Structure 1
Amino acid sequence: MEDKGAFLARALALLEQLVAFPTVPDASTLDLIDFCGDYLAAYGVESHRVPSPDGRHAALYATIGPRCPGGVVLSGHVDVVPIEGQVWTSDPWRLTERDGRLYGRGSCDMKGFIALMLAAVPELRAAPLARPVHLALSYDEEVGFAGAHRLVPVLKQSLPMPQAVIVGEPTRHQIVNGHKAYAELETRLRGHAIHSGRADLGVSAVTMAARLIGRIDEMDRENAARAAARPPLFQPNYTTLHCGRMEGGVAASTVAAHAWFSTDIRAVPWEKADDYIDRLRRIAADIEAEMRATHSGCGLDMRVIVNVPGLSPEGDQSATALAQKLLPRAALTTVAYGTEAGLFQRAGWSSVVCGPGDILQAHRPDEYIERAELVAGVDVLTRLTQALC
């Protein structure tokens, strides 16, 4: 086996290069994918791309070792959240180390794990692997999961059945075997504007939006009231519904012609976000009918922006068992945020979430990952390589 110091040095150098790619939502990820493909090719590893419909992005996957069942998929997303509106004390696109912390956008979420994946390639290539390691990189995870939605079916069709998928989101190497589903909706309403002195002749899009938001809040409170009936697996231990943004109207003296709002649904694994979406559509249809009864030009459109399945705890199934073998002291836990692991599990592949870094450092100004977390990641991937030989 290679000296772990060389492994770590390679991971640090790769992380510095990865952070320098500003892969925010509005930017193409192709330059970073080119970099990863060239890096793999330099070690004799063939990679494959799954392009986005607009050609501005591509997912990438590669296999190291024999093409046989029972391998392990290491999965990460290359996109990062924006820096606008944040005050950084160092350049977010240049990896900066201070007091054992490596600062830079995406260093924690989740280019640290991708750097470790890539840094493991020479060791994987040199090892007598009896089962393969599959590397998978997606795009658009932070805004819509479009990359994984396109990548996972291709992997399902192209790769032998793996033993496990490890999605390397930052968990401080605790083993996450369950998380909530995530759906985001956008609802737009068309009212009928008129002077507020004759508000009785108009239809306020703002008022009707508020009525629907009120029903959404009722669902959330009903779920909270029922939460105590189940063993606590999540915080909070129920499906939450939340409206994070709302805009509408032009003046206090004008009945609002337009309004829109967002809805965030975080569904526990024993419930389906789709059921809540269907319920909201029925309520919205009743509200739209009421609006049109006053003025035929009124209307309501509800659009699903994101809909990603949750991750259901699998007990001692293969992914969890493998992760516990690699990290015997790690806790099994669940989280309220969503990941791409639910898409892999829905495809029939046993999955867990486990990676370096702390999720509390993600998305914030001065995002960082601790050097010690990368050291731990080197140990995990070294043990994984040994387990597959």
Structure 2
Amino acid sequence: MEALDRCRSILADLVGFPSVSSDSNLPVIAWLAERLSDAGARVEILTDATGIKANLFATLGPDRPGGLMFSGHTDVVPVTDQVWTSDPFVLTEREGRLYGRGACDMKGFLACLMAELDLLKVAAREKPIHFAFTHDEEVGCVGARALAAWLADRDIRPALAIIGEPTGMQVIEGHKGCCEYTVTFTGRSGHSSAPELGVNALEYAARYVGKLLELRNGLIAQEPEGSRYMPPYATLNVGGIEGGLSHNVIAPKAVLKWETRPVTAGDLAYVKREMTAFANEVLLPGMRAVAPEAAIETEIIGEAAALFPRAENAARGLVFALTGETTADVVPFGTEAGFFQEIGMDAVVCGPGSISQAHKPDEFIALSELSRCLAMLERLPEQWTEHWA
């Protein structure tokens, strides 16, 4: 069977696992583990505290430091309230496109890897090739954070990482971080005719939003010189606010959802420092002067690390050699790559499909994109020695 036919068949199997982030990913992890084990890989399944989610780490080749790691997430976003023209969890081919939830983001890349395991096994005879498949990327890169910490504790870990998010097979060397927070304001209820006896949580949430918008202007003002991003500065978004009981009741609780996408590490430090001080030194004293039980609690939903472009990047050089590309770009969306860079790996993002298809109804990946990814992998054995790091 030709590589593209194998890839199509494998992708059909992968799409058939409805590994939505809210549900378990264990079935798809077990399926991938079996194929890797059959190819001779040493496989470790790392279950999270819930017991229903897991990362997979596997290695072909010798047990030695360094090597190349291919990385991708196994979870997909929901299809709830989306109108599809075919079953989202049954791979459907139409006019050179394969439709299905996760076909593009990012099971297409996983299918390419599984289709070329025999070739990758040959490439790994002297220098290891690793596979890192994670859970819960779509809800804050939870699995990647845990996997990076686990790898950091090992004496043996990869040197290079290719994260196969859909980039149209373009080489991406940098992206912004993505940091998401939920803030819960607890006040004191009461009749609206006596506002001085209560603490309106919605009002304090609104003041918090006002401060966020002030900081958003500050982020624009401190745009890094020569930034390659679009927009070139760190962004900040208020995603939702909920609370209140009725027109004539002082709102006892409010929940605010917001995110920021820093360009530099300093951007995030600035936002967190200012918002913590505003909550603790300005808002809380006023709330607790009336209601000592009042509280402002911040939950970190996810803090996806930025991927910073670097002058020296062996992973970028390797992917240039494998794809024929000669330039690398940056993107505004986040990936898991930054976590691996933080623990010392050279990392790039490069994978089949278009990010414009991600999360949409009738998500698809073109067969031509899968062919380009397979061609990249097929060049690996001849390039591996030259670009070893």
TM-score for both structures, normalised by structure 2? 0.94
What SS class does the counterpart of residue 330 from structure 2 fall into? Answer: strand
More moved, 120-129 vs 77-86: 120-129
1:1-389 matched pairs, under 5 angstroms:
6-127=2-123, 129-158=125-154, 160-227=156-223, 230-285=225-280, 286-329=282-325, 331-388=327-384
More moved, 320-329 vs 74-83: 320-329
Check the 8 A contact 2:116/2:377 in 1, yes or no. Answer: yes
Cα distance in structure 1, aligned partners of 2:149 and 2:41: 22
Give the AA of the match of 2:364: Y
More moved, 229-238 vs 246-255: 229-238
More moved, 115-124 vs 275-284: 275-284
Cα distance in structure 2, aligned partners of 1:322 and 1:121: 19
Give the AA of the match of 2:179: A
What SS class does the counterpart of residue 244 from structure 1 fall into? Answer: strand
Check the 8 A contact 1:71/1:133 in 2, yes or no. Answer: yes
Cα distance in structure 2, aligned partners of 1:127 and 1:354: 19
Cα distance in structure 1, aligned partners of 2:157 and 2:43: 18
Give the drift of 1:171: 0.5
What SS class does the counterpart of residue 324 from structure 1 fall into? Answer: helix
User: 5+ residue gaps in structure 1?
Assistant: none
Check the 8 A contact 2:92/2:100 in 1, yes or no. Answer: yes
Cα distance in structure 1, aligned partners of 2:253 and 2:151: 43
Alignment RMSD, CA only? Answer: 1.7
Give the drift of 1:352: 0.7
More moved, 253-262 vs 74-83: 253-262
Check the 8 A contact 2:60/2:124 in 1, yes or no. Answer: no
More moved, 229-238 vs 285-294: 229-238
Give the drift of 1:232: 2.9
After superposition, the Cα gap between the structure-2 partners of 1:319 and 1:90, relative to the gap in structure 1 and judged at 3 Å, is same
What SS class does the counterpart of residue 365 from structure 2 fall into? Answer: strand
User: 5+ residue gaps in structure 2?
Assistant: none
After superposition, the Cα gap between the structure-2 partners of 1:157 and 1:300, relative to the gap in structure 1 and judged at 3 Å, is closer
Give the drift of 1:244: 0.2
Cα distance in structure 2, aligned partners of 1:349 and 1:312: 12
After superposition, the Cα gap between the structure-2 partners of 1:349 and 1:126, relative to the gap in structure 1 and judged at 3 Å, is closer
Q: Deviations over 1:227-269 (max 9, x none)?
A: 3x61131111111121101001111222211111111011113
Cα distance in structure 2, aligned partners of 1:341 and 1:265: 18
Give the AA of the match of 2:245: V
Check the 8 A contact 2:151/2:157 in 1, yes or no. Answer: no
What SS class does the counterpart of residue 266 from structure 2 fall into? Answer: coil
Check the 8 A contact 2:321/2:383 in 1, yes or no. Answer: no
More moved, 128-137 vs 245-254: 128-137
Cα distance in structure 1, aligned partners of 2:286 and 2:154: 50
Identity over aligned residues, as a percent? Answer: 38
Give the drift of 1:9: 1.3
More moved, 290-299 vs 109-118: 290-299
Give the drift of 1:46: 2.5
Check the 8 A contact 1:179/1:269 in 2, yes or no. Answer: no
Check the 8 A contact 2:67/2:129 in 1, yes or no. Answer: yes
What SS class does the counterpart of residue 333 from structure 1 fall into? Answer: strand
Cα distance in structure 1, aligned partners of 2:123 and 2:230: 42
Cα distance in structure 2, aligned partners of 1:33 and 1:9: 22
Q: Deviations over 1:30-88 (max 9, x none)?
A: 11111111112222223111111111111111111233344210000000001111111
Q: How many residues align?
A: 384
Give the drift of 1:172: 0.5
Give the drift of 1:202: 2.3
Give the drift of 1:205: 0.8
Check the 8 A contact 2:215/2:271 in 1, yes or no. Answer: no
What SS class does the counterpart of residue 259 from structure 1 fall into? Answer: strand
